[in-house]
C-alpha cells in the first residue's frame, strides 16, 4: 500500500484565496483525520471522520475551514478565504480503529502571503 | 479536557547512549498511550504504543513504561543511533463517547557521533 497520500505537497497562495487540500486514506481504513502542525501550537486535530461521517469537528478554527469526505477513499480540507495565520503544515491521517494506530501522510506545507 | 506535558523539549545524546523522554497526563481515565516519531519533512510515524492495563512494553531498542498511579509514561531508547534523531511525540487517548487523542509538544532528539 502507498500509505496516506496528500496533495499538493506545497501550496503558496495569497491572502483571500481559496485553498483546497486533498487526502487519500489507506484502503480499508475507516477513520480519517485532519491535523494542523505549527511551532506555536504543535499538532492540533481539526476534524475526524469515521465511516465518512464527521465525529469531532471541535478543532476547526472557524467558518473559513470546511472538510468533506464524499467517499471512503477521498477527503478535502478547504480554507476560504485564506489568511496568513493559516500558514502551517496540514496532515491527513487514517486508521482502522478510530483514535488508535494512526498512519500519517507526508503533509501539505501551506504558506499564505 | 486532557492535558499532556512532555519533557524535555530537546535532548542530545551520544551515539550508543540511552535516551529517555517523559510525559504526564491529566485524565486518569485515559487508556491508550502511543509514541510517534517525526523525521524532517515527513508525517509522524507510530513507533510503539501501550494500553493502561500494561506497565511496560518493549520492541527491540525501544520501550515504553506506564505508571497509572502517577499518570506518567516514558519512552526509552537504548543504544541510540544517528537515525534515531527526530522529533518524538507522546499522546494520550481519553475514553468515553467524546474520546480524544491529545499529543504532547514534542521532544527533538539529536544523536551525535
Test A99 with B32 for CB contact under 8 angstroms: yes
CA angle, B68 then B70 then B71, to 5°: 55
Test B99 with A107 for CB contact under 8 angstroms: no
**B93 and chain A: CB distance < 8 Å anywhere?**
yes
pLDDT tens figures, B31-78: 999 999 999 999 999 999 999 998 999 999 999 999 999 999 999 999
Residue A57 cell numbers, joined: 469537528
pLDDT for the residue numbered A68: 97
* Partners of B62 in beta bridges: B59, B77
**B3 and chain A: CB distance < 8 Å anywhere?**
no
| pLDDT > 90: percent of chain A | 93
Residue of B nearest to A36 (CA): B43
pLDDT tens figures, B78-101: 999 999 999 999 999 998 888 899
Cα-based distances in Å from A109 to A37, B10, B89, B104 = 10, 23, 20, 21
**How many CB pairs (< 8 A) connect A and B?**
44
For testing contact with chain A, the best of B101, B102, B106 (most A CBs within 10 A): B101
Per the CB < 8 A criterion, the answer to whether A93 and A102 are in contact is yes
Cα-based distances in Å from A69 to A20, A24, A107, B78 = 13, 10, 18, 42
Test B98 with A56 for CB contact under 8 angstroms: yes
Q: Which residues of A52-65 are buried (b: 16+ CB within 10 A; e: fewer)?
A: beebbeebbeeeeb
Test B106 with A45 for CB contact under 8 angstroms: no
Q: Could you tell me the pLDDT band of residue A20, with boundaries at 50, 70 and 90?
A: very high
pLDDT tens figures, A31-46: 999 999 999 889 999 9
Tally of CB atoms within 10 A around A45: 20
From B51's Cα to the closest Cα of chain A, the distance in A is 11
Test B103 with A98 for CB contact under 8 angstroms: no
Amino acid at each position: 500500500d502507498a500509505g496516506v497520500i496528500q496533495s499538493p505537497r506545497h501550496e503558496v497562495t495569497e491572502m483571500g484565496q481559496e485553498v483546497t487540500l486533498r487526502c487519500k486514506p489507506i484502503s480499508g481504513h475507516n477513520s480519517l483525520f485532519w491535523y494542523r502542525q505549527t511551532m506555536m501550537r504543535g499538532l492540533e486535530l481539526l476534524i475526524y471522520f469515521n465511516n465518512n461521517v464527521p465525529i469531532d469537528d471541535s478543532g476547526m478554527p472557524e467558518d473559513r475551514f470546511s472538510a468533506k469526505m464524499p467517499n471512503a477513499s477521498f477527503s478535502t480540507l478547504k480554507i476560504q478565504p485564506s489568511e496568513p495565520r493559516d500558514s502551517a503544515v496540514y496532515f491527513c491521517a487514517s486508521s482502522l480503529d478510530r483514535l488508535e494506530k494512526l498512519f500519517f501522510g507526508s503533509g501539505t506545507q501551506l504558506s499564505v502571503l | 479536557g486532557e492535558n499532556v506535558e512532555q519533557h524535555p523539549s530537546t535532548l542530545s545524546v551520544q551515539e550508543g547512549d540511552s535516551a529517555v523522554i517523559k510525559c504526564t497526563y491529566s485524565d486518569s481515565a485515559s487508556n491508550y498511550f502511543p509514541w510517534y516519531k517525526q523525521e524532517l519533512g515527513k508525517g509522524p510515524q507510530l513507533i510503539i504504543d501501550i494500553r493502561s492495563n500494561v506497565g511496560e512494553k518493549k520492541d527491540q531498542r525501544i520501550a515504553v513504561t506506564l505508571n497509572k498511579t502517577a499518570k506518567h509514561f516514558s519512552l526509552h531508547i537504548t543504544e541510540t543511533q544517528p537515525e534515531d534523531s527526530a522529533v518524538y511525540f507522546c499522546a494520550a487517548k481519553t475514553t468515553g463517547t467524546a474520546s480524544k487523542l491529545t499529543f504532547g509538544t514534542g521532544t527533538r532528539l539529536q544523536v551525535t557521533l
